[in-house]
Structure 1
Amino acid sequence: MGFDIDTKIHCYILREGETKAPDFIQKVFDKAIAGQWIMAEGMKVGMTAGESMEAMVKLMEDAGYLYTPFIDSHEHLLDGTRDGDEDYRIVQKALAGKGADIAGFSIDNHAIGNMNEVGPSMGSFRTDHQHLKIQNNNIFAFEYMVHMNIAERRGYPLCINISNPQIITNKGVEFIQPLNEEIILIK
């Protein structure tokens, strides 16, 4: 099996006079990062991807997050049956009328290797992989999105995608590189 990674790194370009990312961006980012520690308990060797998905959704909902499952709109962009914005409209609809403290989330934890769809994958749009069992030493992109309403863009929630490579062992989730847990500031 080959190896590749799916890592997201988040940067903010400081405007004149700024020394940090705006509070509203930091708030959504922090809520997003917190999700990986909540969901990590829902991924265990021997579970099917579907069982893991259900466990992660329950853990996040119990922590106050709102599940906003995505569809696989990317697959249909080429044939013109979808426009690629459907996932964002799902988020907008789910968060409409909700306060700025409610966070929506979507999960796309997927196996990685030579091809990222080989192996168990936990995503609402990857149902054909949900019967596969998580094996000891399965490598995954721990990928998910968190979305929150912000006053700066009413009706257009800020979405932050997190992805940190991990390996699932008999000890649980172990990350295989330094975690992305901060916004890199660019001057």
Structure 2
Amino acid sequence: MKISFKLFQLLSILILAACTGTPTQEVVSEKPDWSENSWPEIRKQRISQLLPKAMEAAQVDCWITICRENNNDPIAVHVGGENAGGTAAFLFYTDESGFHSLVFSPEGEATALDELDIHDEVVKVPRGNSALAEAADFIKSKNFKQIAANSSNSNSMADGLSFSQREELESLLGEDATKLVSSTELVYEWLSIKLPAEVEIMRQAAKMASDFQYEAYAMIEPGKTTDADVAKFLKAKMAEYGVTDAWHPDQNPNVNSGPDRGHSHATDKVIMPGDVIQIDFGVKLYDIWVSDIQRFAYVLKEGETKAPDDIQQYWEHGKAGSRAALAAMKPGVKGVDVDRAQRVLMEAAGSEYVMWSTGHPVGYVAHDVGPNLGGSQAPSIRPAAQKELKQGMVFAFDGFHAWKRPDGTTKTISVEEMAVVIENGAEYLIEPQEELILVK
């Protein structure tokens, strides 16, 4: 599709005008008090309020999660099984009297689990007895129609059941093993939605990641500071504030003042005048919720007081794409359509091809469960691009513009922000980056 530059400018203005709900950004002034972790209460609310709806949407009336020590199910922390020693079976089910949660736990861990007051009932399984066998007997007594188990070929969070556990479960269930279905859809429906209290914590995580990046840019000495030095500065800020990495520590943050390197680590490249610098960075709060934010800067050459016209234009193109993506987000819209909204502007602006999706869900991990915001230019490798956005979903998303550098390599501006889907659209978690940061 070919669009004139004037039309491109008009589209950009309309999109910017449509984007509202932008909070004011303030500098981080005080270190948070991490002693007040609201996860225990939030987890209880997620189980009681969101899980029954997820089970209904997935059309299952029973879900079993098996937890154990050292090689635990990735869903364990969400159901209260993170401290399992011996094998424990967590059951969630609906019957004529409503929604219930029931755990069959080895007696060594059962008392502490019961005191957390997460579940309706915790059954103590005597030493030498099998918690899974008792759970299987209960399941058979209830005559459920569909029993979700954590085996999935598309959702790693729903794929925690090991081969040996699956074999044992099927053997214990006998004929009822034919009722087993994948928990893929159930886990998707449950984890993709965040409670308002969770969004507020993620807002704090996003603000912290953004503020730290602005501080990092202020410490750069062109011709001396390396990308790795900037990364070390951000690592020190994380340690100072008592937060951890939003993804693998080796690649958080990714600081890159050279050509595109994709998801990678910061190198010893010296930052020089004329460089466009990308920082891709996120922090994890309370060891549960993460952020994923990118901030961009231009290093002024001698005599410059602003970025060159071409670099400034690339920045404006990327920013317009980000705003287009935000304007497209609302309940009922597919992820692929959000991607398409900004790709139209990319094409009009003459951007080089960008392989990455416009955005992804973010929450408990940087690439969380939920719709993928991609797939409009080529067949998507992620089926979740065809999933619809829902209120309460949180995304990290980019506005792209890529260009060829004089040496033939490619540089991409990817204006990455975070937003939550609300009733009639979406809103930024924090104030977005409006201006290209200038490093003197």
TM over 0.5: yes
Return the structure number with greater relative CO, CA threshold 8 A, min gap 6: 1
Tell me which protein shows more helix as a share of its residues.
2
Which residue of structure 2 lines up, in the alignment, with residue 121 of structure 1?
A: 372
Residue 53 (structure 1) shift: 3.5
* Alignment equivalent of 1:111, drawn from 358, 361, 368: 361
Tell me which protein shows more strand as a share of its residues.
1
Residues 47-90 of structure 1 deviation map (CA, whole Å, 9 limit, x = unaligned): 23234444x25xx42x4x329xxxxxxxxxxxxxxxxxxxxxxx
Provide the C-alpha distance between the structure 2 equivalents of 1:105 and 1:174, rounded to a whole number of angstroms.
27
- Residues 105 and 145 of structure 1 are in contact (CA less than 8 Å); yes or no, is this contact kept in structure 2? no
Which residue of structure 2 lines up, in the alignment, with residue 146 of structure 1?
A: 401
Identity %: 24
Matched, 1:102 2:350: yes
Matched, 1:160 2:413: yes
Which residue of structure 1 lines up, in the alignment, with residue 310 of structure 2?
A: 24
C-alpha root-mean-square deviation of aligned residues, in Å? Answer: 2.6
Matched, 1:174 2:420: no
Provide the C-alpha distance between the structure 2 equivalents of 1:52 and 1:33, rounded to a whole number of angstroms.
15
Provide the C-alpha distance between the structure 2 equivalents of 1:145 and 1:114, rounded to a whole number of angstroms.
25
Q: CA 1:140–1:102 in 2, change beyond 3 Å: closer, same or farther?
A: same
Residues 111-154 of structure 1 deviation map (CA, whole Å, 9 limit, x = unaligned): 001121311111235523223321102110022421245xx627
Matched, 1:5 2:256: no
- Residues 330 and 389 of structure 2 are in contact (CA less than 8 Å); yes or no, is this contact kept in structure 1? yes
Residues 29-53 of structure 1 deviation map (CA, whole Å, 9 limit, x = unaligned): 0111111222333221122323444
Kindly provide the amino acid, as one letter, of the partner of residue 160 in structure 1. I
Q: CA 1:164–1:105 in 2, change beyond 3 Å: closer, same or farther?
A: farther
Residue 156 (structure 1) shift: 4.5
Q: Name which one, 1 or 2, has greater alpha-carbon Rg.
A: 2
- Residues 320 and 399 of structure 2 are in contact (CA less than 8 Å); yes or no, is this contact kept in structure 1? no
Q: Secondary structure at the match of 1:66?
A: helix
Q: Secondary structure at the match of 1:10?
A: strand
TM-score, length of structure 1 as denominator length = 0.66
Q: CA 1:154–1:13 in 2, change beyond 3 Å: closer, same or farther?
A: closer
TM-score, length of structure 2 as denominator length = 0.30
Which residue of structure 1 lines up, in the alignment, with residue 179 of structure 2?
A: none
Q: CA 1:51–1:184 in 2, change beyond 3 Å: closer, same or farther?
A: closer
Q: Secondary structure at the match of 1:121?
A: coil
- Residues 109 and 144 of structure 1 are in contact (CA less than 8 Å); yes or no, is this contact kept in structure 2? no
Kindly provide the amino acid, as one letter, of the partner of residue 103 in structure 1. S
Q: CA 1:12–1:50 in 2, change beyond 3 Å: closer, same or farther?
A: closer
Unpaired runs of 5+ in structure 1? 68-100
Q: Secondary structure at the match of 2:294?
A: coil
Kindly provide the amino acid, as one letter, of the partner of residue 351 in structure 2. A
Provide the C-alpha distance between the structure 1 equivalents of 2:338 and 2:359, rounded to a whole number of angstroms.
10
Kindly provide the amino acid, as one letter, of the partner of residue 423 in structure 2. N
